[in-house]
Amino acid sequence: MSTSAIFSLLIQFWICHVTLSCDDVSESACKQFATHYTNMCADGCLSSLCARTCNRCELKCYSCFDISLSTQCNETIRCPSLDHYCILVKSYDNNFRRVYKLGCAVGDVCDHPSPDTVCCDSDLCNDHFYRPTTTTPPPTPTAPLTGVVLVGKRQSADPQCEEVLPSACADIVAADPSVCAKDCLYKKCPVACGHCKTCYSCDFVHDQRTCNTTTVCGQGEVCYGLETVDALRQHGFRFGCTPQLLCGQISSVSTNAFGKRGSGLAGGCCNESLCNDNLKPETTTTPLPTTTPTTTTVITTDKTTALPTTQGVTTHDPNCHCPGGRSSFYVNSKCYFYDPSTFLPKNQSMAWCDARCGRLVDVRNGAELLSVTNGLYKTFIHDFGPHSSHRAYMHTHFYLDAIYVGGRGWVWETSGQPVPGDVMGETVTATPGACAAAKGRNSGLLVTSNCNGARYVLCVLK
């Protein structure tokens, strides 16, 4: 094809730099939905939430002119309509050097095949003349698991409260909470959409702050907590779900342990997700000088992991003080604090913490990181309500103080000490200079992160 002919072909390109509204609500969630629900795109409701995954959007194509290698193009555009394809054209410049042009073209341009022109119909497909093909071997069949809950499935005694893909549900609701107005998503994500409650659930723990296990309640059930004494007369707590009709009996049982009325044991119900994490006894026997005794036998909204309302708690640095109040909590006597609207890259996160007498989080082991992520999640739910669970989940992916150093591996950037092995998990190696973030709620592991990506900030007091 002559240069003039190629030029006349190229002028038919429609290059559009305007961002269109058609897209997946959440790319990660839509990929999970498409893998699990093989007919997702035939469902009008789900496909409307995953328009790009279901090929209902204009293509996204590479767009560059007169570059020496097609793979060097980093600019992208969205084509103006569904009848456009991605195109790659090989031609020559005025000095007869081979160059490449990439962009969008209407369909009739692609109806005339040429060795110097390639059209394709998937996102970002136009950077190669011949795309490599790979053969994926069929998966090796494995025996079904028996007697265990499938990993990732959020189960409940009530089938209407089960979430098969809890991670996808959390992601898509976090991206746009209004999706819960769609019936298809409301039914598939009853917990993320607030239709079913999640409660802390432990048969017996000595310290109520150590109960991090959760369960999804059935419809008509609420969260409960009960201070109790076991058969060996050991003091402890029990948490879980219960029918609302039994709440009166729980309050009665709490003051009638082993036939002793007025024992001061607390118990009660609450009607929001993850609200049953703090049970206060009827009276406070050793109140602080700046507080007054509590006289109600209910689950309160004051978290045991939240900071005390009195100010002035200090660390080993006498000039640093815990902020106290909302958006703060303790783990292993360390003060952690965050701001719900602060969303920054790694270096700016470090500066934000440093300006407030804090630093990015480092931990002694995976168990401590697990306590920090779960403590943050619980504190956020307490501060902003049960319907903020999707936001709380996003906050648990904060930057850590870790960096990957060639020849040494993962180290804490501030202290230079190695990151414990049980925090690294399978992420043992990375590109030198890579950053790390917490993997999220219910995980004591790190994940490799782009240092320039913005994340919600969590600081630990110096």
User: What's the pTM?
Assistant: 0.42
CB-count exposure of residue 67 (10 Å: 0-12, 13-18, 19+):
middle
Q: Looking at the predicted structure, is the pLDDT value of residue 276 above 80?
A: yes
Confidence bin at 221 (pLDDT 50/70/90): confident
- The verdict on 10 and 113 lying in the same domain is yes
Boundary-marking domain end, from 120, 148, 169: 120
Check residue 130 and give its pLDDT. 63
Share of the chain above pLDDT 90, in %: 16
Asked if the structure places residue 14 within a domain, the reply is yes
Check residue 337 and give its pLDDT. 92
- The verdict on 339 and 448 lying in the same domain is yes
Q: Looking at the predicted structure, is the pLDDT value of residue 429 above 70?
A: yes
Q: Could you give the CA distance from residue 53 to residue 218 in angstroms, rounded to a whole number? A: 33
Range of the domain at 164: 159-188
Asked if the structure places residue 131 within a domain, the reply is no
Q: Could you give the CA distance from residue 334 to residue 377 in angstroms, rounded to a whole number? A: 16
Asked if the structure places residue 10 within a domain, the reply is yes
Q: Looking at the predicted structure, is the pLDDT value of residue 356 above 80?
A: yes
Check residue 135 and give its pLDDT. 45
- The verdict on 437 and 390 lying in the same domain is yes
Of residues 220 and 338, more confidence is placed in 338
Residue 319 is encoded by which pair of tokens? 């000039």
The number of folded domains in the chain is 4
CA distances in angstroms from 391 to 49, 185, 215, 395, listed in the order given: 19, 18, 19, 6
pLDDT tens track for 25-41: 888 899 999 999 988 99
Q: Count the helices and strands in the chain (H runs, E runs).
A: 10, 22
- The verdict on 372 and 449 lying in the same domain is yes
Q: Could you give the CA distance from residue 27 to residue 182 in angstroms, rounded to a whole number? A: 18
Q: What's the CATH number where 14 sits?
A: 2.10.60
Q: Looking at the predicted structure, is the pLDDT value of residue 359 above 90?
A: yes
Q: Could you give the CA distance from residue 155 to residue 166 in angstroms, rounded to a whole number? A: 10
Q: Could you give the CA distance from residue 308 to residue 289 in angstroms, rounded to a whole number? A: 12
Q: Looking at the predicted structure, is the pLDDT value of residue 53 above 70?
A: yes
Asked if the structure places residue 145 within a domain, the reply is no
Looking up tokens 């990506």, which residue turns up? 453
- The verdict on 350 and 435 lying in the same domain is yes
Residue 216's closest CA among 193, 248, 250? 193
Check residue 123 and give its pLDDT. 85
Asked if the structure places residue 321 within a domain, the reply is no
Check residue 354 and give its pLDDT. 87
Boundary-marking domain end, from 250, 270, 290: 270
Confidence bin at 15 (pLDDT 50/70/90): very low
- The verdict on 208 and 180 lying in the same domain is no
- The verdict on 171 and 246 lying in the same domain is no
Note the helical H segments in 79-199: 166-175, 183-188
Q: Looking at the predicted structure, is the pLDDT value of residue 266 above 90?
A: no
Check residue 20 and give its pLDDT. 44
- The verdict on 241 and 333 lying in the same domain is no
Mean pLDDT over each residue of the chain, to the nearest integer: 76
Check residue 157 and give its pLDDT. 52
- The verdict on 181 and 203 lying in the same domain is no
Average pLDDT over residues 177-194: 84
Asked if the structure places residue 283 within a domain, the reply is no
Confidence bin at 142 (pLDDT 50/70/90): very low
pLDDT tens track for 100-110: 999 998 878 88
Q: Looking at the predicted structure, is the pLDDT value of residue 209 above 60?
A: yes
The values of phi and psi at residue 246, to 5°, are -90, 0
Q: What's the CATH number where 440 sits?
A: 3.10.100.10
Low-confidence winner among 200-204, 230-234, 251-255, 403-407 (lowest mean pLDDT): 251-255
- The verdict on 336 and 449 lying in the same domain is yes
Asked if the structure places residue 356 within a domain, the reply is yes
- The verdict on 455 and 340 lying in the same domain is yes
HSE at residue 2, side-chain half, CA atoms within 13 A, is: 3
- Provide the β-strand partners of residue 335: 330
Of residues 320 and 445, more confidence is placed in 445
Confidence bin at 158 (pLDDT 50/70/90): low
Q: Could you give the CA distance from residue 449 to residue 436 in angstroms, rounded to a whole number? A: 5
Asked if the structure places residue 47 within a domain, the reply is no
Check residue 253 and give its pLDDT. 58
Q: Could you give the CA distance from residue 276 to residue 335 in angstroms, rounded to a whole number? A: 22
Q: Could you give the CA distance from residue 311 to residue 340 in angstroms, rounded to a whole number? A: 21
Note the helical H segments in 37-151: 44-49
- The verdict on 115 and 204 lying in the same domain is no
